[in-house]
Amino acid sequence: MVPTHYYLILSAVLFGLGAVAFVFKRNIITIFMSIELMLNAVNLAFVAFSQAFGKVEGQVFVLFVIVVAAAEAAVGLGIIILIQRNRQSLNIEKVNLLKL
């Protein structure tokens, strides 16, 4: 048996790595992928808790997360395509029309 908190630490580490990528990468698509990584880390935590408490609601919630992530990925990538069309660049620092 794997103790639950091993899974949780793994989840935390993955989440942290996702956060690092979120902050440091400049390519929009990579940033988006780091968001997906963070979502996966959370999924892992949910499933770990589901196994720990013996209840299956955690896994149900994971399903919902996956569905929402899918929808989000679809729309988000559409936006990214538009950005690429308008700015001819995938660098997030070029998306700065709000800058004074």
Instruction: Restricting to residues 33-92, name those near other proteins by CB under 8 A.
Output: 33-34, 36-37, 40, 43-44, 47-48, 50-57, 59-60, 62-64, 66-75, 77-82, 84, 89-92
CB of residue 83 to other proteins, shortest distance in Å: 9
- Among 49, 30, 42, CA closest to 69: 42
CB of residue 29 to other proteins, shortest distance in Å: 5
CB of residue 98 to other proteins, shortest distance in Å: 4
Q: How many residues bind other proteins, per CB under 8 A? A: 82
For tokens 């979120």, what's the residue?
22
Contacts of 27 (CB under 8 A, 6+ apart): 90, 91, 92
